[in-house]
Structure 1
Amino acid sequence: MRFALSLALMLLPSIAVACGPDSDCMIGDRHYRIAMPEGQAGPVGAIVFAHGYRGSARGVMRNGGLRRMVSEMGLALIAPKSARDDWDIPGAPSDMASTGAAEIAYFEAMISDAVARFGIDPDRVMMSGFSAGGMVTWELACQRPNLFAGFAPVSGTFWGGPPAACAAPASVIHIHGTKDRTVPLAGRPIGPTKQGDVLDVLAMYRAVGGFGPETVVQIDAMSCTRQGNAADDLLEFCTFDGGHSFSRSYLSYAWDRLRAAGKV
């Protein structure tokens, strides 16, 4: 009995720091959750998926279909969590004075922690998110393009329209419903600010990255306009006939496109 008790006490520290899909991985006063792929050894790639307004890392991990799909792709699913109800990004109604610096620092720390703690391959990580999560995805694409191998924002873009400048271009695959009324393609006013116009944002990024001629393809229920540049980056704009909705197939499509381009 004494040996068993001693063993239990020795294990307490490791239990306390353990985290995964059902418990928080702490980074200071912030956290994230992670689901590793089943049966995978060695460094693995990952999809980071940012929740929408008032969402949570716990909520992302409760999406069993998403978790299974990402695991079957041989990837980890990483679910970040905003500090408050919304992501701290420029132009957000919750904090119009925000520069987004705190959120950028959080994502940098999260990736470093996941690489050190779980053996995530930092060169094979795709950033994505839905709605407000798509907005923070665009901010990261603009401010920290080298932090991820590619970006797949879904139904979300910059608050207030395109920023004055972005860093070096990356691969971006933007997916949006043509009948979205929550985050319309043309944006809409909310309180003291306005959601950006997706076409304006794409035009800005096209110029930043020097993206070339367009090719239009039909992929299942999506119509996609594809462009490339001299660095073999991708810029894609895919629309579907629907509203403010998300399908896990959007993530597998974006990952497959990045893999075909040699990005992941």
Structure 2
Amino acid sequence: MRISALLLALISASPVLACGADTDCVLGDRTYRIAMPEGYDGKTPVGALVWSHGYRGSAAGAMRNGSLRRMLSDQGLAFIATKSKGNDWDIPNGPGKPDSTGAAEFDYFDAVLADAQARFAIDPERIIVSGFSAGGMMVWNLACSHPQGFAGFIPMSGTFWLEPPETCAQPVSSIVHIHGDADNTVPLDGRAINETRQGKVSDALALYTDFGGFGPAQPVSAGDLTCEDKTNAAGEILDFCLFPGGHSFRTEHLLYGIEQLKEAGQL
């Protein structure tokens, strides 16, 4: 893991105080929250899902989603809810962020992983990241530009602003993208917002297909999800799943993504 000066500052400026689902874990001027699985013994290492909220969301708000917390607990996963510094994530080409590289957020996520592993028994080999809407955009940026430390990615109803990068950073990872087929907030073909625009989901998938050497798509149906699943020679997966409807988050869709990553050996 790359240890930057900002990351070190976040960690060193943070007193080691009790924190959890109802209390912020403090990292300098940033925070996150964490809920361990029910019955957690405090010693046995567990996997974790790192959650990236949507526009104007919060870690505290994510923790109030009882269905999400129960599902992750049932899966034996810690629930780590991150928090943007302002209303939104600082990622390339976002509104009002023409010069952003995403580096500040990448450092923050590194610091969250380091701090959570220092405080709790988190298995560093079984950490995945997911997020909805603007949080899904944050997930795609992590997957493509800063995948170190994560075993897999589940972006939901979000993609890159404007367009994907020219290429991605190693290692190639497993990604399950989930999106509503009638989403008008983050349409599959994007839309203009202020001086920028949301990118096309198809462009992100095409970039990662080429980058990861993923093979032809195989059609799969699961519940109300209609998916196109791809694999590569190393066994990573790139799945694209649509559900009928608009801009909405459903716990069962995230569960499907988790199950796919488990089947691929990422959890």
**TM-based fold match above 0.5:** yes
Deviation at 1:206, TM superposition (A): 0.3
Deviation at 1:40, TM superposition (A): 2.6
Alignment of 1:24-43 (within 5 A): 24-41=24-41, 42-43=44-45
Q: Relative to structure 2, which stretch is displaced further, 232-241 or 250-259?
A: 250-259
TM-score by length of 1: 0.93
Which residue identity lines up with residue 27 of structure 1 in the other structure?
A: L
Deviation at 1:94, TM superposition (A): 3.2
Whole-angstrom CA distance in 2 between matches of 1:180 and 1:127: 22
Alignment of 1:235-246 (within 5 A): 235-246=238-249
Q: Which residue of 2 aligns with 1:162?
A: 164
Deviation at 1:163, TM superposition (A): 0.9
Whole-angstrom CA distance in 1 between matches of 2:248 and 2:91: 22
1:69-104, Cα deviation, whole Å (9 max, x unpaired):
111111111100000100010011032211100000
Q: Which residue of 1 aligns with 2:55?
A: 53
Q: 2:228 aligns with which of 222, 225, 230?
A: 225
Whole-angstrom CA distance in 2 between matches of 1:218 and 1:203: 21
Which residue identity lines up with residue 189 of structure 2 in the other structure?
A: A
* 2:148 counterpart SS class: helix
Q: Gapped runs of 5+ residues in structure 1? A: 1-14
Whole-angstrom CA distance in 2 between matches of 1:146 and 1:250: 25
Q: Which residue of 2 aligns with 1:3?
A: none
Q: Gapped runs of 5+ residues in structure 2? A: 1-14
- Residue 54 to residue 94, structure 1, CA distance change in 2 (3 Å): farther
Which residue identity lines up with residue 93 of structure 1 in the other structure?
A: P
1:137 matched to 2:146: no
Which residue identity lines up with residue 47 of structure 2 in the other structure?
A: G
Deviation at 1:148, TM superposition (A): 0.6
Deviation at 1:230, TM superposition (A): 1.2
Deviation at 1:16, TM superposition (A): 7.9
- Give every structure 1 segment of 4 or more consecutive aligned residues whose post-TM-superposition deviation is greater than 2 Å: none
The percentage of aligned residue pairs carrying the same residue is 57
Q: How many residues align?
A: 250
Is contact 1:50-1:128 (8 Å) kept? yes
1:196-239, Cα deviation, whole Å (9 max, x unpaired):
10011101110000000210011100001000001111000000
Which residue identity lines up with residue 52 of structure 2 in the other structure?
A: A
Alignment of 1:1-264 (within 5 A): 17-41=17-41, 42-168=44-170, 169-264=172-267
Whole-angstrom CA distance in 2 between matches of 1:163 and 1:21: 35
Which structure has the larger Rg over C-alpha atoms?
A: 1
Whole-angstrom CA distance in 2 between matches of 1:263 and 1:256: 10
Whole-angstrom CA distance in 2 between matches of 1:148 and 1:119: 16
Whole-angstrom CA distance in 1 between matches of 2:18 and 2:33: 11
Whole-angstrom CA distance in 2 between matches of 1:245 and 1:96: 28
Is contact 1:86-1:94 (8 Å) kept? no
Whole-angstrom CA distance in 2 between matches of 1:113 and 1:229: 33
Whole-angstrom CA distance in 2 between matches of 1:205 and 1:73: 28
Q: Which has the higher helix share?
A: 1
Deviation at 1:254, TM superposition (A): 1.1
Is contact 1:157-1:196 (8 Å) kept? yes
Whole-angstrom CA distance in 2 between matches of 1:59 and 1:94: 25
Whole-angstrom CA distance in 2 between matches of 1:16 and 1:254: 33
Deviation at 1:146, TM superposition (A): 2.6
